[in-house]
Structure 1
């Protein structure tokens, strides 16, 4: 176990380095100059060059990357070019909103998809199975931003049940806070729900034909006991894999959904920073998202062991 944790820690460090370098080069090849974006097109070339020197943008790329990496090793993500505030402070302010939206959408997807997948497997080749299979196809095919717009159109503009945009903090009431999460949570979690229905159904179908399931039926155990006590735990293992992998996709999808629903999370902050060429904010947010993704995958590995004690890591 200790060896496995050390190896995974080394992999996380390599992932962080790879994400940092890739993000840095993508920013460098993106058209636009931070100094010009800050001062505006009316600024003189002398003013632009002076600001570039003060920001260190006149240094070679490897020097800029080395300085930023050295600061990160000391826990300093830099200062925003635009707001002049520490990037870590900006992320800590916005990250809880994004994490709450992501976790909420994941819980919605799990609560919808896992029962649907199990029922579809038990009732396979019936109209119920076809209905949930169609829902799965709809979920993986519908773009999240377009589905979000449809949700706003139906539930906000036509019916007036839910707010069209904005985020209500929990301090202002549980129900208003929950209402502000429903539509963006559904829009963000639709794709994951569609994927989980397919995987949970396929995994359950495969599990139900195993020898130990037939043995349990031969012993006279009830279908409920067989499903919940024997089949479900083993069938959830590949589903847990998908949940862990898709967590990073949900964080990435939050960039678009937060823009559609005007959510004050790191997604909108990242998009704004890209448009303003605020390199420290872009680098810091990307690094934090990558770190959360790798930690989630590590947690998923330990959930494997809880679901199936036969799995051991050497």
Structure 2
């Protein structure tokens, strides 16, 4: 297992390098001029050129990237050219809100999805067809549109939950939960349907194997067969779809955080792109890359736990 972890970490190095290079090049080649944004509409070409020189933005992309990489390797993601705030500080202030949203949404998707898939696999019939329909609907319905509907129904019409905003759990656990209910529901619907369908298909395939028949013939209780043997053998595809879901939810936070005014790094990415704040956008991309690496490593570790053969590969 240690060899597997080391190999995955070594593979993460070129992945993060490629992500950082692509992000840096694309953001610098894109439209927009941070200096012009900072100085405003009254800026002259001379003042813009002077500020670009002061910020080092008139240098070649290769030189700018090398300077950024040298600082990043020491833990410094740079300073925002728009707000003059440390990029690392800006991300750390917003990371908690995004992690709360993504982790809660993943938890809700897995718990409800596995439950629906389990019932669908064992009952079948109309419940299985309903799961298929919900799966298609979950992928088709945009999460930001669903979020607006949830706001209208639960906040505007009923007044049960806050429409926007985020409360840190350090301030109030109860208010934190209330502020997370609607964005978590909006973000997790697609995940619920995906996990439910994957669980149903994987469990039905496992329950049709010969060793399940043998366990039943030996008199094992049905619940024990399902939970200890059926779900464990069906866990690999469920873990796979959960890992993909977790990574995909980070991308989904960009719109969800905008709808519910959650101060997360998705909103920081949008603001940075709009203002031409390339340093902050670069930092967000690196954090997303680290999330992908961490999620893939967690999936590999779960593979090894559910299937001991993976540990020796």
Aligned to 1:75: 75
1:242-288 alpha-carbon deviations (Å, 9 max, x no partner): 11122111111111100000001111111111111111100001101
Question: Whole-Å Cα distance in 2 between the matches of residues 211 and 56 of structure 1?
Answer: 68
Matched, 1:191 2:190: yes
The structural deviation recorded for 1:237 is 1.2
Give the equivalent residue in structure 1 for 2:246. Answer: 247
Match of 2:10 in 1: 10
Other structure's SS at 1:226 match:
helix
The structure-2 alpha-carbon separation of the partners of 1:173 and 1:6, relative to structure 1 and needing over 3 Å to count, comes to closer
1 CA distance for matches of 2:128 and 2:4? 40
Q: How far, CA to CA, are the matches of 1:67 and 1:281 in structure 2?
A: 15
1:130, 1:104 → 2: CA distance?
Answer: 27
Answer whether contact 2:4 2:311 (CA < 8 A) is retained.
Answer: no
The structural deviation recorded for 1:235 is 0.7
Three-state SS of the structure 2 residue aligned to 1:179 is helix
Q: Could you tell me whether the CA contact under 8 Å between 2:202 and 2:237 is conserved in 1? A: yes
Corresponding position of 1:21 = 21
Q: CA deviation at 1:313?
A: 4.1
Q: CA deviation at 1:310?
A: 2.7
Partner SS state of residue 77, structure 2: coil
**1:84 alignment partner in structure 2:** 84
Structure 2: distance between partners of 1:118 and 1:210: 17
CA deviation map 1:5-45 (0-9, x unaligned): 33212211111011111111221232111111111122011
1:83 offset after TM fit, Å? 1.7
The TM-score, its normalising length taken from structure 1, stands at: 0.96
Whole-Å separation in 2 of the counterparts to 1:302 and 1:47:
54
Query: CA 1:38–1:270 in 2, change beyond 3 Å: closer, same or farther?
Result: same
Q: What is the match of residue 293 of structure 1?
A: 292
Measured in 2, the distance between the counterparts of 1:141 and 1:201 equals 20
Tell me the TM-score normalised to structure 2 length: 0.97
Q: Match of 2:95?
A: 95
Instruction: Give the aligned partner of residue 301 of structure 2.
Output: 302
1:280 aligns with 2:279: yes
Matches within 5 A, 1:52-201: 52-124=52-124, 126-201=125-200
Q: Report how many residues are paired.
A: 313
Which secondary structure does the structure 2 equivalent of 1:42 belong to? coil
Q: Whole-Å Cα distance in 1 between the matches of residues 104 and 75 of structure 2? A: 29
Partner of residue 48, structure 1: 48
The answer to whether the 8 A contact 2:34-2:82 is kept is no
Distance in 2 between residues matched to 1:13 and 1:39, nearest whole Å: 38
The 3 A distance-change label for structure 1 pair 313 and 88 is: farther
SS for the counterpart of 1:192 is helix
| Distance verdict in 2 for CA 1:313–1:141, change over 3 Å | farther
In 1, the alpha carbon distance for the partners of 2:183 and 2:253 equals 9
- Give 4+ residue runs of structure 1 displaced > 6 Å after superposition: none
Residue 232 of structure 2 aligns with which residue? Answer: 233
Shift of 1:97: 0.9
